[in-house]
Amino acid sequence: MGELERAYTRCPMCRYIFRAPRVSTYVTIGREPDLCPKFPGRQSDGSRAIQAGITMCPSCSFAAREGFDDLDLSSMQRYGLEERLREDGLLRVFRTSPPPWLAFHAAEVCGQERALSARELGDLCLRASWVCRKEREHPFESTFQLRAIRYFLRSLKEDRLAGRELSVTTYLVGELNRRLGNHREALNWYVNAARASGDDPTLTWLGRLIEQQSKLAKEQAA
């Protein structure tokens, strides 16, 4: 397991100073088919390593993947963020005892206001679903998978993805659909992903994954 450090950081929203956990280095032992990293040791340690990729202010719930020190919010953004963080239903319910996925949700809410791309917002939801799986929060895992699919579909329309990012995003739409039980939908997206990756020699790993998961989805659909 990697080193979990804590470093002082200042919230760019409310100026609160706190110690945020940060993973300096960690060892992974491959990835699951939805690209969730596998860690040696306990699932909860892996969950903590993924969670450390997000910083959330314990005072106002502002959250982001970027280090807080690199963020400079305009007063307009600050105003919009304040309102969103105050009004958000899940934050209101869970703020006092935050479940492991809450920081990802908060980062998604803040990311919408900061106009992050659909690809980035989808990535936050995907990571939240990994944490939910490691923590055995199955209903929330499905909720985040569904949200990740919606963002990835929007991303495929709006973000002008190309190369590896296009292939991987298309594949993930398939894989997340398979996990949600939509096997036929999944098969269509695997076909699209294979077409998108073409003969790219750097994507042979993805080609193998597509083949393997298509076979699985076919068995499950039967």
- For Zn ion, how many residues bind (rule: CB under 5 A)? 8
Q: Find all residues with CB under 8 Å of 209, minimum gap 6, and list them.
A: 33, 171
* Structure tokens given for 199: 């003969």
CB 92 within 8 A of CB 105: no
Any residues with CB less than 8 A from the CB of 85 and at least 6 apart, and which? 13, 60, 61, 62, 91, 106, 109, 110
Which one of 12-20, 86-94, 148-156, 204-212 is the stretch in contact with Zn ion (CB under 5 A)?
A: 12-20
Binding mask 129-168 for Zn ion (x = CB under 5 A): ----------------------------------------
Tokens of 172: 């993930």
Tell the smallest beta-carbon distance from residue 81 to Zn ion (Å).
10
Site for Zn ion in 57-116 (CB under 5 A): 57, 59-60, 62
Q: Which is nearer to Zn ion, 39 or 62 (CB)?
A: 62
Tokens 């096997």 appear where? 183
Site for Zn ion contains 13 (CB under 5 A): yes
In terms of DSSP bridges, do strands 55-56 and 63-64 run parallel, antiparallel, or are they unpaired?
antiparallel
Report the residue number, 106 or 124, with the smaller CB distance to Zn ion.
Answer: 106
- According to the binding rule CB under 5 A, does residue 11 interact with Zn ion? yes
Cβ proximity to Zn ion: between 20 and 209 the closer is 20
Binding to Zn ion by CB under 5 A, coded x per residue (else -) over 23-62, reads: ----------------------------------x-xx-x
What is the three-class DSSP state of 23? strand
Which residues have C-beta within 8 Å of that of residue 22, sequence separation ≥ 6? 4, 5, 6, 7, 52
User: Could you say which of 5, 6, 7, 16 contacts Zn ion (CB under 5 A)?
Assistant: 16
| 125 makes contact with Zn ion (CB under 5 A) | no
Rule CB under 5 A: which residues touch Zn ion? 11, 13-14, 16, 57, 59-60, 62
